[in-house]
Structure 1
């Protein structure tokens, strides 16, 4: 079965402004031109001078702040976890001898995640960070996956008892792990030994890691991802949930929401980020074309693709376990100077097909890719050698994610 790469037509020249984004970005003096077009005030409000400044980014540096309550320190680590669109779908209840993790369904990705797959994976990522932080802060822990019969939103209880303090390299990597959306270095393949070590991080019998490393395999996944991205872009609900709903384009929005995606985290070249901040915001069509171009570039520069698979892709506990394994993989790549990025457009379209009763084009493609009867593809990602270091994303502080 084939899925064609789709591309949106270029806008007619007559409709382009006299000085277009394309003109600005391709000129040799791009930065100077953009600054000349804007004002110092706009540059400041759009975060040109200090893109990772402000309290929205403080959790990355304050996660081990002296004087904070010790169980709270575990939450400080948990909130720095990987999660789809930086929606941060978690709540925590902290007690002297235990921590409880809950779903925050108000932070669902809507039409991109109609069955909660990405929400549950993100919760698994937060749980893994929390469990890594427990021994580092002098706790032994016992995990009990939920739900609590009295609360369907309950995900897990972590019982805590005094233990010997012990930090691991994965724990130490927590504040340095960021999703890298830049193109990867195609001249440097990911070694087989790295893939073997990453696969060995999976200690869950109901989770499998499948690697796709050959040129033909990577090209096929590139093709599928491009097609899925085009279909997301053409679906009004998915396009909105994928873009405007979670995009924070200025400092005021970033500080207010403390979640979502920023222009600095989108993997754009420096001149493109500057233009996006200083020029008027693009319309939906232009923004959609830019996102499709990014997906093409990201998928086309993957050193390897990985798919995490489970027996039952609708089982919440298995999704949580996949999140834990993904967080572990992402932290290991951080320690070893590799880059990683979730690329779940295939799953988002497969879920949308199931939600709307459409022909399972992408669901069938995932089955074909996996070629492993009895297993279901749940999560796709790319890894490779970075060309640039990824910046941090905004995070809600601990007080905002506590519940009683």
Structure 2
């Protein structure tokens, strides 16, 4: 394989994905990179229609486009090029190009999730101006921010409803804890899911967290309001931000989620360039997406009502009624996270 393409792929797989599931594989020829979905990596309630994976693929391809520019290539993208193969996400043709490399290239290895509390002071006008200007061709996805304290608190409370549902629903509880890697050795071995230390839990909470992985224990603890306490604690952390933002798209189509992922990646890399941190808060959004398309009995009537009401309120706060909110996140100043989760090696087949 061309060494430059190998380096591009090594950088591409540093893209974020839900639960660090990394739902991608590659087929490479002389000047082409084909990206394929691995649907079994995420069959949860959070990935209706594989939309969470579509978003991750957008971030992955944005990394490819950015990295290619550093190695003297223009990346021409064909999205979902084969209607008979829904798992064929994208084909990227690399062409020699002498244009200046994308300045975000150096941030690909720096970008990571930081779940620590951030400073509450609003982002500066200059920071907001730079972040608001982030874009890519086509305008198929857009983003907005709020910095008012009351809005940040309300949005934090809505985002934390995801944790309440996790600790009150056995299926989601099992899904969540199946993705927790408890030691660095386990994280390095699995390279999928998230390492416990990335959750930034204080020592007492770590002990309680290990107890909470047992559903029988959670059922008992919920009698004294444990799930609500977890949601409240997370809400307080989510409210610690200089800004809360969303990425919106016109509808729930897979192409739009792909473009949302591209925009989200460029935005996150720009956040990193400013020395700021970012944490996605999208669990409740993807539950709402599921409920908009599936009428099942996995979630209780109470949980369905909370999730859908909160989603509507998020739209109202940002003034994006009629749009799909594909991602929500908080941005702020804190420093480096305590740890990072491991990654799988590049999954690639060479094609003649």
TM range (shorter): 0.7 to 0.9
User: Are the structure 2 counterparts of residues 138 and 309 from structure 1 closer, same or farther at C-alpha, using a change threshold of 3 Å?
Assistant: same
- CA–CA distance in structure 2, aligned partners of residues 258 and 273 of structure 1: 24
After superposition, the CA RMSD in angstroms is: 2.7
SS in structure 2 of the partner of residue 356 of structure 1: coil
- State the alpha-carbon separation in 2 of the partners of residues 344 and 73 from structure 1: 30
Structure-2 separation of matches of 1:385 and 1:374:
32
1:264 to 180, 197, 201: 197
Q: Distance in 1 between matches of 2:230 and 2:342?
A: 20
**Unaligned segments of structure 2, at least 5 residues:** 297-303
User: Among 332, 335, 339, which residue is 2:277 paired with?
Assistant: 339
1:219 aligns with 2:169: no
Per-residue deviation, residues 313-364 of structure 1 (Å, max 9, x unmatched): x211111111011111111111111000100132133134332355533342
What's the offset of the Cα at 1:274? 7.7
Change in CA separation of 1:352 and 1:291 when aligned onto 2, cut-off 3 Å: farther
* Contact residue 192 and residue 342 of structure 2 kept, 8 A: yes
Confirm whether residue 161 of structure 1 aligns to residue 95 of structure 2: yes
Matches within 5 A, 1:10-89: 69-89=3-23
Q: Structure 1 residue 201 and structure 2 residue 134: aligned?
A: yes
| Structure 2 contact 195–340 (Cα < 8 Å) conserved | no
> If the length of structure 1 is used for normalisation, what is the TM-score?
0.75
Q: What residue in structure 1 maps to residue 300 of structure 2?
A: none
Query: Which residue in 1 is equivalent to 2:236?
Result: 297
Asked if structure 1 preserves the Cα contact closer than 8 Å seen for 2:144 and 2:246, the reply is yes
Match of 2:262 in 1: 324
User: Which residue pairs with 1:46 in the alignment?
Assistant: none
Greater gyration radius = 1
TM-score normalised over the length of structure 2: 0.85
Aligned partners of 1:145, 1:156: CA distance in 2, in Å?
5
Instruction: Give yes or no for contact 2:181–2:196 (8 Å, CA) kept in 1.
Output: yes
Which has the higher mean CA deviation after the structures are superposed, 225-234 or 84-93? Answer: 225-234
Q: Which 5+ residue runs of structure 1 have no aligned equivalent?
A: 1-66
Match of 1:101 in 2: 35
Equivalent residue number for residue 283 of structure 1: 214
Matched, 1:393 2:331: no
Report the number of matched residues: 332
Cross-structure match for 2:182:
249
